[in-house]
Structure 1
Amino acid sequence: MRLRYQLTGGLLLAIGIPLLARMALEPRIVLSINIQVTITAAAIAHVMGYAIYRRLDSFPGVATFSTILPAFTLSYGLVFIIIFFFRLDYSRFQAAGSFLISTLWYFSLSAVSSRLEPARLAMVPLGSVERLSAVESVVWHPLHTPGIVPEKVQGIVADLRADLPESWLRFITSCVLSGMPVYHVKQVLESLTGRVEIDHLSENTLGSLNPNQAYIKIKQTIDWLAALIVLIVTSPLLLVLALLIRLESPGPALFRQERVGYRGATFTLYKFRTMRDGDDGSLAARDKAITREGDPRITRIGRLLRRSRLDELPQLINILRGEMSWIGPRPEAVVLSLWYDAELAFYPYRHIVRPGITGWAQVNQGHVADVDEVHEKLHYDFYYIKNFSPWLDLVIVMRTIRIMLTGFGAK
């Protein structure tokens, strides 16, 4: 019901306030065709924006404030592009006012709810629920005995794979029958941390990690068209960056490396060279493929390119060749992939989707190389595969833009 009140209140304010403001100056304006068209379009855009905002906000680690503006910008933009395309007359004042009030309304609701209503979950203190205490974004209420659920709790968390006593099983059953949600501990951890813990890949788990094949095809088409447009638009910038790289240090402007990609096939990845070219023979092949913090091989222009992620632009060629996507698990060098495959169970399963220039692991973790860090990265990769969708891709795009501006995770 609270969601309905949010949407109803937003619609009334976003449409009513601009309309009342116009009517104060022109009482008969409500009868004009352009106002009626604008009101209809604004209502559609508002509902669409609310749906997008709620869908994006369901992913972990996504601040509500960072989803409201993109969601309503997208919805209002699409609706009024259609109006412009069909050359329908509309009120710019009504449209702009509706957009502004829509975003302000949900910004205000988000600020109030984050202060007054933190997430509260009760947990059955048996099995592996101790891992939940590390999640600080939730107020946890341990249940000492099967009995009354604390007030204002939004659900019960239990390790449903543990051998629970009959008293707790009856308690969980009564909670379900009363309408209280009951969640498995692994499900809650995935939704709160954005990581899929890798214990084993049973038949059911393997099935749940199979990505949507239809979206793979649609995504590949969108990737190809976007890469072609970006390559044409940025070609002058690419030439300038290539020239700067050649002027600073000897060697080619492009760096080429064999990587493991879609379905385990190897391909040649292209990047702008950010390190000094040359091999003194003192490093093993695996160490050469790893970039460390403050690596002395990185050039001045290379450090700037890495921080802004502009060194990744030549991978547009890989997207056009069908070897990569804009978004997906980051492809590793062959020598590193063989190392990780030998150390980490199920590592090759990340190759079930095309590798990407950016991805869920990159926006959450940044650049990593050691086995322990890659194991954590694999948790994020599996979460992306399990939740493979345009909504998660949109979240990654928004967070990638923020990272390009801040330089998070660069080495």
Structure 2
Amino acid sequence: MKALLYTPSLPRFFAARVLGKRFPRRLLPLRLAEVPLPQREGFVRVRVRLSGVCGSDLALLYGKSPPSISPFFSFPAVLGHEVLGEVEGSLVAVNPLLTCADRGLPPCPACQRGEEGLCQNVAEGSLAPGMLGYNRDLPGGWGEWILARPERLYPIPVHVPEERAVLAEPLAVVVRGLKKLKPWPKEVLILGMGTLGLLALQALRALGFSGKVYAVAKYPHQAAKAKAFGADALFSNAREALLERARRYRYLLFEGHRGGYEAVVEASGSGAGFRQALALAQEGGRVLLLGAPGLEWADLSPFWFKEVGLVGSYTYSPEEFAQAVGLLPELSDLEALIGGIFPLTDWQKALSAKGKALFRPNVS
């Protein structure tokens, strides 16, 4: 089958890390190749309808992934963990986790609790390390077919468009993260109006949050979407949001603040966003990391000087994935997040698309 194969290259890794998005896309360690689809007992073939480009995929390609998580991936691999598939004519969202049950192992303590996203055996058992999309034994969604156990397939509710259904996986990450903010605060500030931030804006309301939601949107098109998705107030940058709520104090060359927001959701995945979130949280407030900053410097004083609490969301439990799929009919106009649908041959264009890029590997 045709697929986009990622093969690590240390020289390209370091060059991309230094140059970032200035690194030529044609030199990224990604190529269109013929890849065999393996056979595996207990797994079914799933035809890929759509597969998303995630921020973590871009972080990997541009050398921004933290080295400490590298033992839990395996390469070369076909990327793509946000997958909408088709089995016997029916659309399914694919849970890409490969945990104890998938690996032929007895359940670890986390899996026994139903917390498969915290599985302790992601680098053990009969499969190579990593989830679908970061696993050398099983191809991800940037190819024409994948393999998955039937328990990992969630039927899509009727009348949900494909461009919305493919967002089930990132929505599950958001759902898990937002639940960690309970008991609900009176207000939430969301940093970053990319896919995760805009999903969080809508999901908050769908999960029953009735307080104020503020959004920091860097670009005009993101601000327009945030307003359409129901943000109560918009800020063009983090400093504007901070000065709206905090008091400034100065000593010599240094500036400090008191006040801020009860809860801050960092959805940009950048080091700058992480530092801004810590500054924006009020005394005793909470910060939720939905994005995935890697090796970054940060002033850690807010954790003790302001007693800010920090939580994160990386994956999900089976119940949270099912909850996200169940929310799809309630969330309006998520298709507006899509920045383009591309065949595998146009992967360079997909990686530079504004908005959420999708691959359609099976182009008829």
More strand by share: 2
| Higher relative contact order (CA closer than 8 Å, sequence separation 6+) | 2
Q: Give TM class, smaller chain.
A: under 0.3
More helix by share: 1
Give the TM-score normalised by the residue count of structure 1.
0.23
